[in-house]
Structure formats: C-alpha cells, structure tokens
Amino acid sequence: EDKVVQSPLSLVVHEGDTVTLNCSYEVTNFRSLLWYKQEKKAPTFLFMLTSSGIEKKSGRLSSILDKKELFSILNITATQTGDSAIYLCAVEASQGGSEKLVFGKGMKLTVNP
C-alpha cells in the first residue's frame, strides 16, 4: 500500500530557530514529491521535487529529495511567526496507467516569538 509518512507530527520552536521537516514514502512508480504549506485555509504550493540531490530554494525555505533512501526534507532557517502552519508532503505516483497523489498527515509547526 502506498504511504507517505511525515515526522515529526508537530513541533514548537522559537523565532530564529532552524527546523527540518521529514517526509518518507513508499509508493509504486514514484513521479514527484510536493510540499505544501497550509495556514488557515487552502494549502499553498512550496516545492516540487523529481530528481535526487537537487536542492530547491525559496527564501528561507529549501528542500531536497533522496530517491535512494525514499525521503525528502524541508528546511526552514531563521523561522518567523508567519511560518506557523501545517506543512503537507505529497507524493505523485502511477500504477497500472492510473495516477495518484498520496498525502502525508501533515506536520504542525508553531513558531513562538
């Protein structure tokens, strides 16, 4: 059964800390891994990763994929209170000609001032 596991499920840090979010997966015919940030409402897209070892960066956020060990990490440096959110990891996979997108349970990050 395809699955995506995020850890930790929740984390509380202080402003300025650096955090690392983990996402491991077991899927059939991996195609891509996506990270989303969800604040109060809709998830918003952060990164899409398809190749191992290539880091994607956007400001203080960065992410990298390891297709051999089947995981990805999302790093946030110099955290701010505005980084408080649920971070979702999802993996796009294909099986028998059909496609699927499997989400992890999400990781709740709280950044205190």
Partner 1 sequence: NAGVTQTPKFRVLKTGQSMTLLCAQDMNHEYMYWYRQDPGMGLRLIHYSVGEGTTAKGEVPDGYNVSRLKKQNFLLGLESAAPSQTSVYFCASSYSWGGGLDQPQHFGDGTRLSIL
- Judged by the rule CB under 8 A, the positions of this chain that interact with partner 1 are 4, 31-32, 34, 36, 41-45, 48, 50, 88, 90, 92, 99-101, 103-106
H/E element holding 94? strand 85-95
Task: Determine the Cα–Cα distance for residues 60 and 78; give it in Å rounded to an integer.
Answer: 7
Cα dist from 7 to 94, 99, 104, whole Å: 24, 25, 9
Q: Least distance to partner 1 from the beta carbon of 44, Å? A: 7
Between 65 and 88, whose beta carbon lies closer to partner 1? 88
Between 41 and 68, whose beta carbon lies closer to partner 1? 41
Between 73 and 106, whose beta carbon lies closer to partner 1? 106
